Amino acid sequence: MGYRGKVGEQTKARELRATGMTLPEIAHELGVSKSSVSLWVRNVEFVPGPRRRGRRLRPNALQLRKQAEIDELLEEGRRRIGELSEREFLVAGAALYAGEGAKRDGSVLFANSDPRMMAFFAEWLRRFFPIEESRLRVRIYLHEGLDLEAATTFWAEVTGVPAVQFGRGYRARPDPTIRTNKHEFGCAYLQYSCSRTHRSIMGLVAALLSWRGCNPG
């Protein structure tokens, strides 16, 4: 049903907006999306009402269906993947590096803000290549105002690289025009300076991308 078929909800939304209710509150009350409410009440003068202290909005039917679908598909994904064999782990790591790793010759470099990806790659690198642990380096990209010491401790645990092997962290000035949220522990860059290891990884990537499905025609 389109917006034209929701005259009753539109009218109710406008009435609620006039009482000082916020867009999320109206969306919850009517069981519709906030974007729909925003469209319906765009011409209604808004005077904020008194704050409802301690009030927690219960999820509406749409939110409940969305979360149920997410939970269902997460479980389905776990079932479909199951336990990775040694070969599957090798291929998965090559695919991850193909998407997130540095391609320039001479050094293995993998960066991400997701600790699961960083832990996966660090384990993969150690599993399939003769790594000299003392040559591993990590550098952190972190917004100003966030705790660099806490971030260092966090990424040292994730990657298994001692904090003494971390380079100087890069402090970024937050730009409100780009994003409003920040990663608490920033983005980590894991580096291993070894041209042979990098070339070996790129050989795996090349083999992966030479699969017939990646070459149309």
Q: How far apart are CA 28 and CA 57, in angstroms?
A: 7
* 140 in Cβ contact with 155 (< 8 Å): yes
Verdict on whether the full-model pTM lies above 0.85: no
Residue whose C-alpha is closest to residue 91's, from 119, 117, 124: 124
Query: Where do the CATH 3.30.1330 domains begin and end in the chain?
Result: 86-214
What is the tens place of the pLDDT at every residue in 115-169?
A: 999 999 999 999 999 999 999 999 999 888 788 898 999 999 999 999 999 998 8
What is the tens place of the pLDDT at every residue in 6-29?
A: 567 888 888 888 888 888 888 888
What is the tens place of the pLDDT at every residue in 92-112?
A: 999 999 999 999 999 999 999
Mean pLDDT of the chain: 84
Q: How far apart are CA 60 and CA 54, in angstroms?
A: 18
The CATH code that applies to domain 86-214 is: 3.30.1330
